[in-house]
Structures are given as C-alpha cells and as structure tokens.
Structure 1
Amino acid sequence: MVSSVSQRNDQNPGTSDFVAALPMYDWPEMRSEVDAQWARLRDAFRQRGIDAPQTIARVNADLWPVDGGIRDAAGKVIAPDPATLPPDELDFHGLWLHPALLFAQTCWGPMELGLSEHVQVVGQPSYDAYEGGQGELYSSAIVMCADGSPSVRAPDDGSPLVSLDLLRNMRFTFNHSDSMSGFVGLTRDLEALGESLNMFSERSESGGHRASIVAIAEGKADVAAIDCQSWALARRFEPAAQKVAAVGWTRRRKGLPFITARATPEKIVVALREAVAAIA
C-alpha cells in the first residue's frame, strides 16, 4: 500500500512502528487472557527480530493515523484515516487494511469478499480446545431457545447437523452478513440441502455473536449460528446463554486466519509464520 502513516500523539522512542490486534474474541471478560496471548506472540516475534508493539490495539485511537486515508497499491482510498473515526470504537476493516498492520485476526468471509487482495495470511489458530473444533477447522453451533432441552453434541466427523424442519419459518439473527461463522457457512450448508435463507421468516443483523445469543434469550429472534469458540465463551461469561442451547452444527471450515499487511516484507512474514507455528 502507498498510504502515508503519521505519528500518533502518544509517540515515544520505545513505540513500535507496527500495529497489532486480536479483536475477534476480545470480550471484556477475556481481556487478561487475550493480553497474555499477545504477550506470548509478541515475545516470540521479538525473539526473531521483529519490532512488535508492546500492546494490542483495541480502538481506532490506538491505530496510527494515515494521511488522506488508507490506499491500495494503485492509490485508491479503500478505508478512512483511523484518526477521523470514533476514537473509542474499532473499525475492523480499517484495522485489517492498515498499512502498518503487523498481526491481527480476521474472518474468511471478508477475505473472500476482497480483503485477501490487501493482506497476507500468516497462519491459523487451533480450535482443538472447543467442541466443534479440530485443528485449524471450526464449526458453528446452531442455537435456539433451550426450552429445557440439552445441547446436541457436535458431530465427530465435522459434518453438518442441520434440521430443516426445526429451523423453517424461524427468525434468524446473525452477527454480520460477511461473517463465515454467523452467516456464510450456514447459508452454504442450507444450499447444500436444497434450501436457502428464505426458509426463515425474518432475518436481522445483531452486530455480534454475543448480541445474537442475547436476542434469542430475550425472544427477539429464534436462531443463530455461533462459532464454537464464541459459543464456549458465551457459556462461560454470558448469562443469556443459559437460556439457549445448540440444536445443530454447521460443517467444519477453516477458522479465523492471522494476517499481516500486504506491504509487510517477506523476511518478516517468514519470521511471523515461524513464530506462530512454534507456539501454536
């Protein structure tokens, strides 16, 4: 990218020129665990000579300003200058497209919609610790109001478990329309069964997996697809999850990739990949 990165107001001699973030599972209750995850990654990167930032970015104010907006290799503006965005929010696309991005998580939904042209994939995390996950693959729990019924187990072979009769005419809520786990994956599983999202009576965008679970618990929606790690977090931290159960599972697919900017030098990309592989 040809964007010009400006210095932040909090610049000091020890500040890295890079930015990094782990936003996808950074729930308020998870902050200390996410910070510990970054510390392990940061130290592994620094051992390989990479000037990794001390802390991760969590809001737009943590990102370096980019004069005139973020541009692609042809000079076209593809995202606004982070300094012009609400400082206490985080614009995911602005983060992913940032020319100083060293390391972040994204989703294969946005990657398929064009993000892959502007970034490089560093690696994939393991989902072995979560029901519905296996290695770099994950699936989504299809959740509905529990009504006293226990959750169904994820198939051991990673095949989809989708009950069309159970889902038909339900109100479907999803985090974002470009989300592989919350929207695209279920859409593809339904299409493989000869159905589509038109089987639902309503569709609404919640803004996040946690919000989808709350909407179902409050009776504002009937069904959602929640990636297996977010589903595990919800059962740990979100009281509304006690009123919700998994009634099915989507097919296992490749999980959230770690990415770096397209402009990150090859030598650094190789070192990032070695570090991620070493601590995976």
Structure 2
Amino acid sequence: MSELVAALPMYDWPEMRGEVDAQWARLRDAFRQRGIDAPERMARSNRDLPPVPGGIRDGAGNLIAPDPATLPPDEFDFHQLWLSPALLFGQTCWGPMELGLSEHVQVIAQPSYEEIEGGQGELYSSALVMLADGGPSVASPDDGKAVIPLDLIRGKRFAFNNPDSMSGLLGLTHDLEAIGESLDIFASRSESGGHRLSIIAIAEGRADIATIDCQSWVLAQRFEPAARQVKVVGWTARRKGLPFITARTTSAGVVASMREAVAELGLTGSVAKQAFVERIV
C-alpha cells in the first residue's frame, strides 16, 4: 500500500466524483507504469492524510502546519494536503502559490483550459456573474484582457469563495488595481466558502456579484440550478490556471516521470484538452 497521497480537489464537485476518479485512475496507472508508487485512491478528507507527529515543517525545520491527525477527520484542509510531505500529486491555485505555498512545493505541469470559454491553453479567467435581467451574457474576449463593467458593479455586494483564491478574489483585485480602482468599489465583501456557494448567494439575493473561474462556471451551468438565475457581465484577465503540484521533497526523477505521464495523457499544453473537459462543455 502506497504511503503517498494524491488528490484533485479543485473541481471535485459531488456530481463530478466519478469523472475525477476516472481521471486519477488514468494518472495512477500511467505513474505506476513508470515505477512510481502511486496510491490506489485519492484523499478526500483529513483522515486520508498520513499523520506527521509534531506537525509539518519546512526545509529549515520551521513548523508550517499542524499534524493532520489533529484536524477534524471529516473535513478537508487543502493547505494540509498541499503541505503534506507525502504529497505525490495534487492541484492548487496560484493564489496560495502567490501567498507563499510555492516555497514548499514543486510544479509538475499546468492543465489546459483550451476547450472552455474564458480559457486558452494553460491560461484561464473568471466570469463576473450577477443576477440575470433578461439580457445576454458577455462573451469572453478573444484577447484575454479584463472586461470590468465599473458602472455596473460599483456599490454592489461582492461575494468571494475564499481569501487566497486567485479566481475568486486576487485576480479581480489585480485587475481593479490596473485601472486605478480597488475592492473598495464594492459596498460590502463577504466570504461564501466556494464558487458554487457564491452563485447561490447571488440567486438568493444575499450578494450581487462574484467572480467564478471559467471551469467552475461550466460545472455550475451543468449541475447547479441557481446558475440559471445569473448571467456573465464581465471577465477577469487570463492568468495561469490551477497547477498540478508535488511535495518539495519529491525526487527530480519522479517529477520528470510524472511530467512525462501528464503530457502523454494530454492534460497539458496550449492545444491539449484537460481529461474531463470534453464531457462538460
């Protein structure tokens, strides 16, 4: 039994579990063919993470996270996953990476968003969504530049998924700063706990606007009834999508083999399709 950990939590909606499991099965088998001791199943809760007595430490011996065994077993702390010394293969966001995670992990590859509106190769953007008013949604611009309707969003209640999310908060922050504005443009800001929850908050009248990454927006249109009550009014600029990562201690040889496997399966590159994208567009 492998002592390593793998997870693909970023788009692991309940309705997508079967497809995400299938994606991992393809990766797992490709890794094993290259001699990598990949785990049979992915982690989906804190109880699936191996204990680290005394807590997780960085290369200098500094404590950076508690022992996963001390956390609520039925919850799933993504930062614990990302920082786990047992992490073989995972996926994160460039928000946490920008805020310090990059010091503790290695990037294996960037997935492709080529077949999703708002995506281009390894780049993705977020849709600005508000309550539908009968008018059409705004199409993603061909040049990938931000489309921020200032007059429409000024003074509105903004919902974001979590504070370190590039797609839900930081990307929009950067785009507003680029045009001389800030999050102060909004009347209020509230954390929803997830992109799906942000959409529901708008549909239920608890928020006015949110930024939803393009792949989550596709999933919402497929699975979330509340998505029918909102529409796209703008887009953030395109940025690097959610990278596949591994622990900083994973050997160079294993990283190289995983990169080869990921590329062979067609999960990366400007013209490749992400494994389950074809099923959701």
Q: TM-score range by the shorter chain?
A: over 0.9
Aligned equivalent of 1:20: 6
Alignment of 1:234-253 (within 5 A): 234-253=220-239
4+ residue segments displaced more than 2 Å: none
Q: CA deviation at 1:129?
A: 2.1
* Aligned sequence identity (%): 74
Q: Determine the C-alpha separation between the residues in 1 that align with 2:36 and 2:137.
A: 44
Instruction: Within 5 Å, give how 1:137-216 maps onto structure 2.
Output: 137-216=123-202
Q: Secondary structure at the match of 2:237?
A: coil
Structure 2 distance, partners of 1:245, 1:51, is 45
- Give the RMSD, CA atoms, in angstroms: 0.7
Distance in 1 (alpha carbons) for counterparts of 2:191 and 2:171:
15
Q: Secondary structure at the match of 1:67?
A: coil
In structure 1, the partner of 2:263 is 277
User: For residues 5-59 of structure 1, what are the alpha-carbon distances to aligned partners after superposition, in whole Å with 9 as ceiling and x for unaligned?
Assistant: xxxxxxxxxx112100000000000000100110111111111110100110000
Q: Deviation per CA, 1:59-87: give whole Å up to 9, x if none.
A: 00111111111111121111111111111
The equivalent of 1:113 in structure 2 is 99
The equivalent residue for 1:41 is: 27
Paired with 2:136 and 2:163, the residues of 1 have a C-alpha distance of 28
CA distance in 1, matches of 2:237, 2:28: 33
Equivalent residue of 1:66, what SS? coil
**Displacement of 1:278:** 1.2
Residue by residue, what CA displacement relative to the aligned partner does 1:102-139 show, whole Å, maximum 9, x if unpaired?
00000101001110000000001111121100110000
Q: Which amino acid aligns with 1:120?
A: Q
Aligned to 1:100: 86
Deviation (angstroms), 1:150: 2.3
61, 64, 71: which is aligned to 1:78?
64
Gaps of 5+ in 1: 1-14
Q: Deviations over 1:112-171 (max 9, x none)?
A: 111000000000111112110011000000000012222111011111111100110000
Match of 1:225 in 2: 211
1:262 match = 248
Q: Distance in 1 between matches of 2:8 and 2:171?
A: 22
In structure 1, what is the equivalent of residue 109 of structure 2?
123
CA deviations over 1:205-236 (Å, ceiling 9, x no partner): 11110000000000000000000000000000
1:240 is paired with a residue whose SS is: helix
**What amino acid maps onto 1:177 in structure 2?**
P
Say which SS state the counterpart of residue 95 (structure 2) adopts.
helix
Letter of the 1:58 counterpart: R
Q: Partners in 1 of 2:80 and 2:31 — Cα distance?
A: 23
The whole-number CA distance in structure 1 between the counterparts of 2:123 and 2:3 is 32
Q: TM-score, normalised by structure 1?
A: 0.94
Could you tell me which residue of structure 1 aligns to residue 277 of structure 2? none
| SS of structure 2 residue aligned to 1:131 | coil
- Secondary structure (helix, strand or coil) at the match of 1:274 reads helix
2-structure distance, mates of 1:221, 1:98: 35
Cα deviations by residue, 1:217-265 (Å, 9 ceiling, x for unpaired): 0000000000000000000000000001010001000000000000001
Equivalent in the alignment of 2:276 = none
Deviation, structure 1 residue 276: 1.0
Distance 1:41 1:137 in 2: 22
Whole-angstrom distance in 2 between the partners of 1:252 and 1:73: 33
Partner residue, 2:272: none
